[in-house]
Structure 1
Amino acid sequence: MLMRALSCLVFLAATPLAAQQTGTLADIRQDLAVLSVEVQRLKTELSTTGGSSVGVSGSTLDRLTAIESELQRLTGKTEELEFRINRVVQDGTTQIGNLEFRVCELEPGCDIGNVGMPAPLGGGETTAVNPAPKPQTGPQLAVGEEADFRRAQEALAEGDFRSAAEKFAAFRQTYPGSPLEPEALLGQGKALDGEGDIREAARSYLAAYSNYPDSAVAPEALMRLGASLGDLGKIPEACVTLAEVEGRYPASQAVAEARDAMAALGCQ
């Protein structure tokens, strides 16, 4: 039985790489599942107690090592494909959101505050489009991710708006799907605001709010979006958007700022 299992495993491990590379993500997952089952079965037989008529030679262990190496390769390939798919979905969905914002700007009577989050490309749930970080033991960050984000924040705090905007943009490109994406969008909007690019700042605020309505920065992003619309001369839209802050986030500190902005704009 052991030799039959080993023969099956060697056959799977020796499958031509070209055939594996041309497989779909589902094919790779299936190969991974098959190899996992077989290697666990082999390990069980190798660790069986009692007498055995089969001697475990060094070649058997070498084959087991090769199979485990193949498992690691397939796992890495799966993660690579998932990362690429996630990035396409995120970038495409963000572009759709920006286009919806531009269309709403051109349509009379369009309420930008109700544009909402666009459906992710390909349908399904939004897990592939960067969910907001969960308040557990802290978000899982890539090496250097927190340091890069901190440098962008420092540039913003020092009033170096151009550098801050570039750093936040570079951060989002370098770490797609980051748990810090909502904060990066908000920071990028503030930096663009500081440079006087109100329209692009409004787009960043809109993306931070519409893509992450449940994040900690969503109330401030919505408030700043309303204020930016006021700066662009879209007073009715600004008033509606600012009023949404209290309606959607009544316990947020951004409510007081939204009220002040509404008073300054003469909202009724």
Structure 2
Amino acid sequence: MAQDTSTLADIRQDLSVLTFELQKLKRELSTTGGTTVGVSGSTLDRVNAIEAELQRLTNRTEEMQFRIDQVVTDGTNRIGDLEFRVCEVEPGCDLGNLGQTKPIGGEAPAPTPAPAPAPEPDVAGHDLPLTDPSVQLAASEEQDFRRAEAALENGEYQAAADQFAAFRETYPGGPLEAAALVGHGRALDGLGNTRDAARSYLNSYSGYPDSAIAPEALWRLGVSLATLGSVTEACVTLAEVPSRFPDSPFAQDAATSRAGLNCQ
């Protein structure tokens, strides 16, 4: 009987340790209410600052994911040991029927999947080879994107803006995210909302600087800045298109736009 009492005490101690570890994990996942993100300076300075911050947050997320996986694995192992020890002291418990312990959270920790490859638009930024096997789409994703794209091409700018916004909410971070941001910006441009259009182009470029649609996003951002009266920043932004994407057709578009603005 003394041995059973000692075993149960050990179990209570281990449960306390597990509870403490889970509380620490919850604190790690809670926001502090503050932020260290600050973006200022010229448009390109802000773009570079956003890119750097995104990289920092990505690295931090990966570190947190690793720590969470460690907690899940260790916690699951401890719970499995507890189940075994409880069964030993419980009358009538069959150790053979315990089965495999379910991981904390209900799912086994898995490595973070690689981001889906960006779609490859043509020179106009509209046709996407959605049959490319490297582009993983949800069943209705292509249909929804095409519907928004068709509304844009038909000059139905409000419908296109609404549909692109809904698309991004339905498929956040999907392979067509960068293209949807540009499409949304073009629809806003059609509605005369240049400021929000510029923000959409900036979000597309800063979020997906290596995507195939990034040159168009950067070019359209420069054009929008000029429309908003920020000609100096527009010239600097447009100059970045051929500098960063010399082989893109939008490099020539940017050069033409710079000439029209008499950029030095």
The answer to whether the 8 Å contact 2:241/2:251 transfers is yes
Counterpart code for 2:172: P
CA distance in 1, matches of 2:42, 2:179: 31
CA distance in 2, matches of 1:233, 1:193: 15
Aligned to 1:197: 193
Aligned to 1:119: 54
Aligned to 1:212: 208
Aligned to 2:249: 253
**Shift of residue 141, structure 1, vs aligned partner:** 1.1
Task: Return the match for 2:173 from 170, 173, 177.
Answer: 177
Aligned to 1:156: 152
RMSD (Å), alpha carbons: 3.9
Counterpart code for 1:133: P
**Shift of residue 145, structure 1, vs aligned partner:** 1.0
Over 3 Å counting, the alpha-carbon distance change for 1:123 and 1:180 in structure 2 is: closer
Q: Secondary structure at the match of 1:124?
A: helix
The answer to whether the 8 Å contact 1:130/1:179 transfers is no
TM-score, with structure 1 as normaliser: 0.57
TM-score, with structure 2 as normaliser: 0.58
Over 3 Å counting, the alpha-carbon distance change for 1:195 and 1:131 in structure 2 is: farther
CA distance in 2, matches of 1:166, 1:207: 17
Q: Which runs of 5+ in 2 are unaligned?
A: 1-17, 30-35, 63-111, 120-131
Task: Return the match for 2:117 from 107, 120, 133.
Answer: 133
Runs of 4+ in 1 over 6 A off after TM superposition: 125-130
Q: Which runs of 5+ in 1 are unaligned?
A: 1-18, 27-84, 86-95
CA distance in 2, matches of 1:215, 1:109: 19
Q: 5 Å matches for 1:21-32?
A: none
Q: 5 Å matches for 1:16-95?
A: none
Q: Secondary structure at the match of 1:163?
A: helix
The answer to whether the 8 Å contact 1:239/1:262 transfers is yes
Aligned to 1:54: none
Identity among equivalent pairs (%): 50
Over 3 Å counting, the alpha-carbon distance change for 1:125 and 1:209 in structure 2 is: farther
CA distance in 2, matches of 1:257, 1:159: 22
CA distance in 2, matches of 1:251, 1:126: 34
Over 3 Å counting, the alpha-carbon distance change for 1:146 and 1:130 in structure 2 is: farther
Which is richer in helix? 1
**Shift of residue 138, structure 1, vs aligned partner:** 3.1
